[in-house]
Amino acid sequence: MRDLSKALVDIAAMRTQMARSSEFRGFGPTTLAATAALAVIAAVVQAQYVPEPAADVVGYLAVWVATAALSAVLIAIEVVTRSRRVHSGLADEMIRLAVEQLLPALAAGTLLTCVLVRYAPQSLWMLPGLWQILLSLGMFACSRSVPRPMIAAGFWYMGSGLACIAFANGDYALSPLAMGIPFGVGQLLAAAVLRHHGGSDVEG
């Protein structure tokens, strides 16, 4: 019985190692492009219904948290279905590793938002830039598992996040452009990289 348990542990370790050394192909370009469109739509919605976000932080957060949640759901659904099709027997390990790489940045973004809302509302104007920087760190974390050119999207989000903190303050604080443009362009860039280097949405 002990030998069987050891063999199962060894097999699990081998599968994990194989997953670590394989390129993750669970992200599809069409879904990422759709999330870019969602970012642009959210920016339009904010401009229309939350014209003064500094005075209506709840409305601002409602727009962008809902957009992020919907984007995450769309990506998660595709990651699961596409991984099971493309990675077959290694799908579960590949998905778990991808989640492990992205989860710290996502958790940090969630906790940071809660802390700023609760304890430092005067600093909420930095949220767009901080969100983008955290996303860039998540993309850097998974850069070894995805097509290498995807790192360009990480650099884009790092640069756009820093630019937002440097320039999107005062009268421009929480502007819809500070979210719509960076996320629209960034997700389209990631989609283009996947289309060119990672294959299409109709893998065999």
pLDDT at 7 over 70: no
H or E element at residue 126: none
| pLDDT value at residue 175 | 95
Compare 64 and 169 and report the one with higher pLDDT. 64
Is 17 a member of any domain?
A: no
Is 4 a member of any domain?
A: no
Closest to 98 (Cα-Cα) out of 20, 33, 152, 190: 20
User: What is the mean pLDDT of the segment spanning 37-55?
Assistant: 96
| pLDDT value at residue 92 | 77
Is 1 a member of any domain?
A: no
User: What is the mean pLDDT of the segment spanning 66-94?
Assistant: 86
Is 78 a member of any domain?
A: yes
| Alpha carbon distance 188, 190 (integer Å) | 5
Structurally, the chain folds into a number of domains equal to 1
Contact 155, 115 (CB under 8 A): no
Contact 132, 160 (CB under 8 A): yes
pLDDT at 19 over 50: no
Is 65 a member of any domain?
A: yes
Contact 142, 101 (CB under 8 A): yes
Average pLDDT of the chain is: 86
Read off the pTM: 0.85
pLDDT at 162 over 70: yes
Among 2-6, 27-31, 56-60, 150-154, the range scoring the smallest mean pLDDT is: 2-6
Instruction: Quickly count: other Cβ atoms within 10 Å of residue 197's Cβ.
Output: 14
The residue range of the domain holding 55 is: 26-197
Is 13 a member of any domain?
A: no
Alpha-carbon radius of gyration of the chain: 19
Residue pLDDT, tens place only, 111-143: 999 999 999 999 999 999 999 999 999 999 988
Is 19 a member of any domain?
A: no
Is 177 a member of any domain?
A: yes
